[in-house]
Amino acid sequence: MAVNTEAANFIHAIINEDLKAGTYGGRVHTRFPPEPNGYLHIGHAKSICLNFGTAARYNGLCNLRFDDTNPSKEEVEFVESIKEDVRWLGFDWEDRLFYASDYFEQLYEFAVQLIKLGRAYVCDLSPEEIREYRGTLTQPGRNSPYRDRSIEENLDLFRRMREGEFEDGSRVLRAKIDMASPNLNMRDPVMYRIMRQTHHRTGDKWCIYPMYDFAHPLSDYLEGITHSICTLEFEDHRPLYNWYLETLGLQNRPKQIEFARLNLTYTVMSKRILRQLVEEGVVSGWDDPRMPTISGLRRRGVTPAAIRDFCERIGVAKSNSTVDIGLLEHCIREDLNKSAYRVMAVLRPLKVVIENYPEDLVEELDAENNPENPAMGTRKIPFSRVLYIEQDDFLEDPPKKYFRLSPGKEVRLKHAYIIKCERVIKDEKTGEIIELRCTYDPTTRSGGESGNRKVKGTLHWVSARHAVKAEVRLFDHLFLVPNPEEEKDEQGYRALLNPNSMEVLTSCLVEPGLAHATTDKRYQFLRQGYFALDPKDSGPGKLVFNRIVSLRDSWAKIRNSGS
RNA sequence: UGGGGCGUCGCCAAGCGGUAAGGCACGGGACUCUGACUCCCGCAUUCGUGGGUUCGAAUCCUACCGCCCCAGCCA
């Protein structure tokens, strides 16, 4: 694969400079470093695509590394789901699956070295005292009374910390930097804390665990990472990242580069709120199709290709931004337009009887599976005297520019005939329209010689005798407002929830071939949207379709602006 | 009132002293047996604001203004 050195974003520009200067001997090595304490969401997808994508772009490598330095919040369940999600997105870490916990022994040795260098010390201050000594944003901190312990004493104390002689929280190891630094991260940051917690990988081997700021640069170093890409909030930590590497005298030091994390309109990326949505039952789980999680998007039917394309298009920069969810939807449509099987499904059925069509006749009509891609072939669909069309496709008293069916009007049934509405049958009591009596023009069969008469509207339909029942779930944005996380509502996010984010339709009728639908395929229900089988709730004899995204609907715009 | 960032079209985002890319959204039109797709056309005399340097500034200098992040023994 050829190396692409055209700058696509500021990170690539930095890498190009490094390549030109020979900084890392021409190597590019990145890593995606999730903490296994939750499920991945589309914001992580941006980081995954950036890290793996950048490596690929420069013929480099990208590691998957779990940042598991805090056993009190981390679980194996999450490491498995994260691996699955990264793989599903289409990326391969090959044999480079690592854990920060793989390096606990080496990190301990680095800490010992810093003590020997006189640049780290054991501090007996309580957490509250440490906070007080740290000072504030505008006032410098004060030195800990334990700051000047001898190297020997520090070495001894740190060893005994490891050996479990002291209580949780009673002591910490701190870097000795500068309590007056305007950067609070440099005011003698904690390197190790005592915490008796069983770790998901190291079990009870350790009772001291390193902090992120200490573990991260050294993990990067140990893996030979060249460009350590992280989000903006770590910008303040970069001096500390560099301090550890420089103070330890390490060569070929990785370079931390920060970029803005992804925000999307009408949803939230906050792990805390997402967890609340799950725990409070607002959604059915982390993989609820309305969730911005990778597992939610996957269950909904979104393809990895669409997500990758989206991550490509949003760009990478340093300004906080909130991307219009319409762009994601556009990427999904663009991908599915090429690959989805066209089928007909009636979501809200309205009975239609073709009065001049023979009672027992069934015609097998030809239908193309994807007009964008003839290679996807054709299929047969049955046509008969009694059909169902969409309730929305009939209006007794239509407005101007309404191309669909109404009394006395003609419309084409897709792949079939032109029909004309002769009579409307209503429920005597409620006045509800329950059936349409129509006639068809036998000369207008699709594909036939005289079948080219033009009518303005074309409807989708199913044959009553042949149709298969299905449940269809229509999804909408989870929130009513574009920026729910900015809203300062006393009731929290709850008041901002979209009460109609899911609509379940249980009496849908789909064309018979869909009885054999599979979860690996995407379907375009003609004139409606893209759908996929719900992998969890569908089963033998039970079809449950999720709407991935609707088709664009310019009629809806006309209708809405008119009224 | 300390430090670190960021401010280019409704939303993203190129641009790095030579006279504002692109995508999404939006508006108009063509095509259409999906009001889909596709295709045309339109969409910042202006780059947070004010000064300055220059033949020439979104790009350099300067002073303001606005927004984000930091006071976890979280990451």
- Residues A395-399 have a mean pLDDT of 95
Q: Are residues A395 and A532 in the same domain?
A: no
In a domain, A125, yes or no: yes
Which tokens hold the place of A280?
Answer: 């409070």
How many structural domains compose chain A?
3
Average pLDDT score over residue span A465-493 = 90
Q: Domain for residue A293, yes or no?
A: yes
The domain spanning residue A216 has which CATH number?
A: 3.40.50.620
What are phi and psi for residue A353, nearest 5 degrees? -110, 125
Distance CA(A24)–CA(A28), nearest Å, equals: 7
Is the pLDDT at A322 greater than 70, yes or no? yes
**CA A169 – CA A208 distance, rounded (Å):** 10
- Scanning every strand, the nucleotide with its C1' closest to A126's CA turns out to be B73
Residue A486's pLDDT is: 86
Across A35-47, average pLDDT: 97
pLDDT at residue A546 is higher than 90: yes
> Does the complex come out with an ipTM higher than 0.85?
yes
Average pLDDT over residues A242-258: 98
Q: Report the pLDDT averaged over residues A555-561.
A: 86
Q: Does the residue A363 lie in any domain? A: yes
Q: Are residues A486 and A454 in the same domain?
A: no
pLDDT at A1: 61
Nucleotides of B under 7 A from a protein CB: 1-8, 10-16, 22-27, 33-38, 67-75
Whole-number Å distance between alpha carbons of A544 and A531 = 10
Give me Rg for the CA atoms of chain A.
Answer: 31
Nearest partner of A425 among A435, A417, A415, A416, judged by Cα: A435
A280 is an active site residue: no
A166 touches strand B (CB under 7 A): no
Strand B contacted by A372 CB (< 7 A): yes
Average per-residue pLDDT for chain A:
96
> Among A441, A460, A479, where does a domain finish?
A460
The pLDDT-based confidence of A75 (bands split at 50, 70, 90) is confident
**pLDDT band with cut points at 50, 70 and 90 for residue A527:** very high
Cβ of A193 less than 7 A from strand B: yes
A219 with A73, same domain: the answer is yes
Query: Does a structural domain hold residue A326?
Result: yes
pLDDT at A207 over 60: yes
Could you report the per-residue pLDDT of A268-290, keeping only the tens digit for each? 999 999 999 999 999 999 999 99
243-262 of chain A touching strand B, CB 7 A cut-off: 260
A425 neighbors A396 (Cβ within 8 angstroms): no
**A517 lies in the same domain as A440:** no
As a whole number of angstroms, the distance between CA A356 and CA A507 comes to: 27
Nucleotide whose C1' lies closest to the alpha carbon of residue A193 = B73
User: What CATH number did the domain enclosing A531 receive?
Assistant: 2.40.240.10
Interatomic separation, CA of residue A438 and C1' of nucleotide B9, rounded (Å): 51
pLDDT value of residue A489: 63
In this prediction, residue A90 has a pLDDT band, given cuts at 50, 70 and 90, of very high
**Strand B-contacting residues in A 324-353, CB cut-off 7 angstroms:** 324, 326-327, 329-330, 333-334, 337, 342
Average pLDDT over residues A425-451: 91
A261 has catalytic annotation:
yes
User: What does the pLDDT read at residue A560?
Assistant: 80
Q: Which whole number is the average pLDDT over A180-191?
A: 98
Q: Looking at the domain assignment, is residue A3 inside a domain?
A: no
Q: How far is the CA of A485 from the C1' of B49 (A)?
A: 29
The set of residues, in sequence order, having a beta carbon less than 8 Å from that of A418 and lying 6+ positions away, is A410, A411, A412, A440, A441, A444, A453, A455
Indicate whether A454 and A393 sit together in one domain.
yes
How many Å does it take to go from CA A317 to C1' B6?
10
Q: CA A337 to CA A346: how far, in whole Å?
A: 20
Task: Say whether both A103 and A46 belong to one domain.
Answer: yes
Report if residue A4 sits inside a domain: no
The spacing between the Cα labelled CA in A210 and the C1' in B52, in angstroms, equals 52
| pLDDT of A563 over the 60 cut | no
* Whether pLDDT at A490 is above 60: no
Q: Which domain holds residue A449?
A: 345-460
Confidence category of residue A50, pLDDT binned at 50, 70, 90: very high
**Between A487 and A179, whose confidence is greater?**
A179
**Count of CB atoms situated within 10 Å of the CB of A340:** 26
CA atoms of A443 and A356, how far apart (whole Å): 13
CA of A483 to C1' of B10 (A): 14
